[in-house]
Amino acid sequence: IVSIIEEQKSQYPGVVIEVTPIRDYILKQEGAHTFGYVSEINDTELEKMKDEGYKSGDIIGKFGIEKIYDKELRGENGGQQVEVDVSGKPVQILGRKEPVPGDDLELTIDIKLQQAAEKAVDEQLTQIGAHAAAAVVMNPQTGEILAMVSRPAFDPNLFAHGISSKDWNQLNNNPYHPMDNKTITGEYPPGSTFKIVTGTAALTEGVVTPDEQIFDSGHHWIIPKGNADGEALGWLNFRSALAHSDNVYFYEMGNRLGIDRLEKYARMFGLGAKTGIDLPYEASGLVANRRYKEKNFDDGEWYLSETFDAAIGQGFNLVTPLQAAMVMGEIAADGKRYKPHVVNRIIAPDGSVVKDFQPELLSQLDVPEEDIKLVQDGLHDVTKYGTAASSFRGFTVDIAGKTGTAENSQGRDHGWFVAYGPFDNPNVVVAVIVENGGYGSQSAVPIGRKILEAAFGLNQDGGDKK
């Protein structure tokens, strides 16, 4: 049709041919929150970006890597200056500007692992009747993000042609917020996954020795807070308390440490601050601390019961799934914290490498090596005889893990699972949260196991082949 009109321009004086680039997201919802989407620039964006060469009608990245790397991806428009006669017929071309293609991005995402993670999340949500979840898989030795799933999701193609009000309302009115990348914007109480921080702090500060036995009668002796379902586990040392996720033991660790030292170690692990991942709209989470309470509550006094809550990851504490993965990753990498990233390389149209993203060490835990080793051993025991043991029976790769259940005032509790493997030389960390999924061992662990199976090639189909 274009050729016919171009050949017979004189017959169609009012018709102008314009070429518009259209993004086609061939994977549809798969990886949607990582890729993001493009759409026409709006007035606010134009006002802010016109000095950078953006103009009305431009298609720009609005979300995900499309937004962060828009300048690299967009290239430069071409065009020509044409002299026409009175009837609009071209007489001669006065000038031509060749278009310049944008750079390509090579991601750290492993497509088979991404597919396996999405499938695992979808199957589990269907099975337990939950609607929202997030999972992130990372290499703790480099910070490379290997898979990232947020549910519910959306199809970025809806935005490429300008989204209809019907589609927009459907997305906007969904109570489970499909447009949020829950792996980096969802803030949840970390639940028992926070015991990694509390345990590390208690050992390093010397408030407990690894062999000291503490008696769990089902509730603490100062404040009658106890374990889920009133469980009483008797005498416990550090490793067994971590393996069985014993609240009473960790309440006592909070009691001995106090909130200020708990806060110090949480921040040392990088909590309460953005990780700096190359995706937009990342949330900071929140570390329980005195100043926060003073600022936000009429009764600004800090109570011991709030320290108890903080020690087991409840109360004011909030983390994103990525932050939970980072905490586990630091234990896996012997205290090193690498900046997470989803882009591996930026490649020019001629194939040359514009930028190669190397692992970036953000910090190192100021903690004795033997204390990290004790935490590693406790987390290893979780999958051997602790809270995730039944789910990892017969698993041929050695895994360290931690389950968690985050209390939720709005409904059923959220279920957590964080893990890393292989235990001796970890190159995979997984964090999973299922909103309103109940106990982490029942809702999040099955997803984590399937993701780890795919990561280590233990699953039969290796995800959908494409």
Question: Which residues have a catalytic role annotated?
Answer: 192
Tally the C-alpha atoms within 13 A of residue 331's C-alpha that lie toward its C-beta.
36
Instruction: Give residue 51's Cα distance to chain centre.
Output: 33
Distance CA 359, CA 406 (A): 32
Enter the tokens of residue 359. Answer: 């692992």
Instruction: Annotate 253-319 with DSSP letters as a single string.
Output: HHHHH-HHHHHHHHHHTTTTS----SSSS----B---HHHHHHH-SS----HHHHHHHHTT-TT-BB
Name residues whose C-beta falls within 8 Å of residue 177's C-beta, 6 or more positions apart in sequence: 132, 152
Q: Is 124 exposed, middle or buried (0-12, 13-18, 19+ CB in 10 A)?
A: buried
Report the alpha-carbon distance of residue 301 to residue 299 in Å, rounded.
6
**CA atoms within a 13 Å half-sphere pointing along the CA-CB vector of 349:** 9
Q: Tokens 């204390």 map to which residue?
A: 371
CA–CA separation, 141 and 330 (whole Å): 9
Cβ contacts of 56-63, under 8 Å, gap ≥ 24: 59/20, 59/21, 59/23, 61/36, 61/37, 62/36, 62/37, 62/38, 62/159, 63/33, 63/36, 63/37, 63/179, 63/280
